[in-house]
Amino acid sequence: MELKDIKIAVIGLGYVGLPLARLFSTKYKTVGFDMNAARCAALMAGHDATLEVSDELLQDAINNHGFVCTADIEQIRDCNFYVVAVPTPVDENNNPDLTPLYGASTTIGKVISKGDIVVYESTVYPGVTEEICSPILEEVSGLKLNEDFYIGYSPERINPGDKTHTVENIPKITSGSTPEAAEVIDNLYNSVLLNGTHKAPSIKVAEAAKILENTQRDVNIAFMNEIAIVFNALGIDTTDVLKAASTKWNFLNFSPGLVGGHCISVDPYYLIQRATSRGVVPRIMMEARRLNNTMGNYIAERVVRCMTLHNTSAFNAKILLLGFTFKEDCPDIRNTKVIDIYNSLKVYTQDIRIFDPWVSPEHARQEYGIEISTQTEELERGEYDAVIYCVKHKCFNSIDMGTLRKPGGVFYDVKGVLDHDIVTERL
């Protein structure tokens, strides 16, 4: 397959698929496919609700590079290079849910032809691409792997809301089911990336590398959360300790906090499940997940304790949560752990306001059944018994934090970034 002859279909137009498809479209004929027709229509109108791709870049791709977003499978039939970028969530028991991958593989199986290449970017445990996805492609298409078509794995590294580490700037891992396929895949990605690729020796190595990246962060943050719990019990400010410790050149820059979102709080379960199925109990990973999942409740308990120590009852108190997204400066509320703080505090009071200008109130209502305030004038100055700073949005910098709580009210800083004279306690 010559690069000049490649026509690309990207399956899944979310936070990962759309930026990648837009980038590919600058050099290759590219079609973005998503089952959500409304999402495709909105993109073709020139706006990405996730804000990962600016209106300017999206409209340039559509108007000047022929980029098309569609829910019509017939529009990807003449492609010869397919990239799968669908979610890989977990179910209510934290077991891997591969349903989106089954669906994407079935869709591609209906349209691939001899000589085509299918590359998966979704985060999975080692073995999924070759042992689960490939057989679906073979069964649906009637073609034979490595004779009629080829597969590869190039894990996504998109960081939602990050305007520095964008898709074109991040080095990519590539791999293929044959050396020749691996070379084509590596060359294709290299042709659009600014910082190159690392060609892994096998698909399983590439899968394992991706899941290691996120699991390592999960474990490191869990350790910092445990440290924060210990230092709180000792009456020591964790933020002050981190500032002191970070003066050493090889100190690792991790901080305690809420671990939500679609990657770090989900992907370790894939490796945990795979390990336990082979008779290995990954105790550190399992404990990291357990600890990080309890932090919302822990923060709520600390707030209630602070209120009690300051002679303010949590019962029927008026509480403000600043921020609801899973991370700063993006609209993504998937698996946000701020909801855990909210639900824990609801035991004491129903008078809880959540303020986040980044969030779509309708989306929050549909996803979590809660109301979100988005306008600064909706904040009631000097009326809150407790204020909890949950997310470090830049837009919060213009708010005079000292005016929000009542005299005698408490201010809890989850992010550890506010001044001591404002904050009652920090995580």
Residues marked active site are found at 263
Alpha-carbon separation of residue 300 from 124, 166, 265, 266, 281 (angstroms)? 33, 34, 19, 23, 31
Cα separation of 25 and 8, whole Å? Answer: 8
Helix (H) or strand (E) holding 212: helix 203-234
The closest of 216, 289, 215, 282 to 252, measured between CA atoms, is 216
Q: How many helices (H) and strands (E) does the chain have?
A: 14, 13
Neighbour count for residue 231 (Cβ, 10 Å): 18
**327: Cα within 13 Å, side-chain hemisphere:** 13
Helix (H) or strand (E) holding 189: helix 179-190
**407: Cα within 13 Å, side-chain hemisphere:** 0
Could you tell me if 282 and 276 are in contact, meaning their C-beta atoms sit under 8 angstroms apart? yes
Could you tell me if 206 and 153 are in contact, meaning their C-beta atoms sit under 8 angstroms apart? yes
